């Protein structure tokens, strides 16, 4: 059965009228939700830890900023917009002691609730509003009168108004302009992790590097390998994004199409799909979450090493050199552009 897609007419901002929304964190998603909601007429305050670099940023954008504990006390709806592995400590020390009956906890990713690193009391609503795009895109689309498609989910609903609140929040950030689909915390968490690991981030970056290495090791110029395995990927992804895989194929040459349908299944073959199923199982049974939580508790040493090793890959030097001759890309340095909490 096809999912119902909720649009603007299905959501009403009155469910947030007269209420205070606290956004805990002012990073990618936090700043976008806060600004969009404010411009939609919602009373928004920001909760940040003492010494946060985001305090002055939030104040300059016109928000009242409080400690996390004070923001939770003042708010009716609390959006926990901090990293997955930071949520438990913030929740335990600042949110839980000030979370009273009738309030609503809101998340943009189901990790903490689904894997029970946070166990909320039964007398509060717990909802999910997850835009299917990064915060900076959520903000830009809203300012252009458009919206990023979003997901909503209900985990606890003692008030019997949780869905109305979730839809109102989604409308306030522009999500209902793009379309909203209802899901569950479990489904959102597991599909999101799988997509990131197997296709969007892990799968794509590994495929790019493997292709680059194959060409360079065969004696081809690194610059040629970069263009063929990384640079042109955006052009194809844009076509897929706009028109689907078949639409992309319509726009490429017959030779490219033949290579696509004949060779693609040799690269992403039955063995790759079998590995994908293992990855999904490890997400479903909690193995990935336990490993990630343990890595964080151990100081993220392996995590940092793998990131540092990746940053030293030859494709990064080649890309840095080539992007320098593309004027439209010179200002696109997004590293560390916004604090997360």
Q: Which two tokens stand for residue 135?
A: 């915060």
Other beta carbons within 10 angstroms of residue 74's beta carbon come to 16
Burial tier of 298 (Cβ tally within 10 Å: 0-12, 13-18, 19+)? exposed
- Residue showing tokens 């490429």: 252
Q: To 5 degrees, how large is the angle CA 267–CA 268–CA 269?
A: 95
Q: DSSP string spanning 79-107? A: EE-S-TTTHHHHIIIIIGGG--TT-EEEE
Report the alpha-carbon distance of residue 329 to residue 324 in Å, rounded: 7
Candidates 179, 191, 114; CA nearest to 152 is 179
SS3 169: helix
* Catalytic-role residue among 109, 136, 231, 241: 109
Candidates 169, 126, 163; CA nearest to 34 is 169
Per DSSP, helices labelled H in 18-126 are 28-39, 54-60, 68-74, 87-90, 111-114
313 is catalytic: no
Strands (E), the chain: 5-6, 20-24, 43-47, 65-66, 77-80, 104-107, 125-131, 150-156, 180-183
Q: Which two tokens stand for residue 276?
A: 């994908």
CA atoms within 13 A on the CB side of 116: 2
Q: Which two tokens stand for residue 198?
A: 């197997």
Report the alpha-carbon distance of residue 138 to residue 131 in Å, rounded: 7
| Number of residues that make up the chain | 341
Residues annotated as part of the active site: 109
């Amino acid at each position: 059965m096809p999912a119902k897609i909720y649009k603007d007419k299905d959501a009403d901002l009155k469910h947030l009228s007269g209420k205070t929304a606290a956004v805990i964190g002012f990073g990618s998603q936090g700043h976008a939700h806060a600004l969009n909601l404010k411009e939609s007429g919602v009373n928004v305050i920001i909760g940040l830890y003492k010494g946060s670099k985001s305090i002055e940023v939030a104040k300059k954008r016109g928000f009242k900023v409080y400690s996390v504990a004070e923001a939770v006390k003042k708010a009716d709806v609390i959006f926990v917009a901090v990293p997955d592995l930071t949520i438990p400590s913030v929740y335990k020390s600042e949110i839980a002691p000030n979370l009273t009956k009738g309030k609503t906890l809101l998340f943009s990713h189901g990790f903490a609730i689904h894997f029970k690193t946070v166990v909320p009391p039964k007398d509060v609503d717990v909802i999910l509003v997850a835009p299917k795009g990064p915060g900076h895109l959520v903000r830009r689309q809203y300012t252009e009168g458009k919206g990023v498609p979003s997901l909503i989910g209900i985990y606890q609903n003692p008030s019997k108004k949780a869905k109305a609140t979730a839809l109102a929040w989604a409308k306030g950030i522009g999500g209902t302009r793009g379309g909203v689909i209802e899901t569950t915390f479990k489904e959102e968490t597991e599909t999101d992790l799988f997509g990131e690991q197997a296709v969007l981030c892990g799968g794509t970056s590994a495929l790019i590097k493997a292709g680059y290495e194959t060409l360079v090791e065969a004696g081809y110029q690194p610059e040629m390998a970069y263009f063929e395995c990384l640079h042109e990927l955006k052009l194809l992804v844009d076509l897929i994004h706009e028109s689907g895989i078949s639409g992309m194929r319509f726009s490429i040459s017959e030779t490219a199409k033949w290579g696509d349908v004949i060779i693609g299944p040799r690269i992403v073959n039955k063995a790759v799909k079998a590995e994908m199923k293992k990855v999904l199982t490890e997400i479903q049974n909690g193995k990935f979450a336990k490993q990630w939580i343990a890595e964080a508790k151990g100081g993220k040493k392996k995590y940092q090493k793998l990131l540092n090793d990746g940053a030293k890959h030859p494709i990064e030097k080649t890309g840095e050199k080539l992007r320098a001759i593309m004027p439209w890309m010179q200002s696109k340095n997004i590293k560390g552009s916004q604090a997360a909490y």
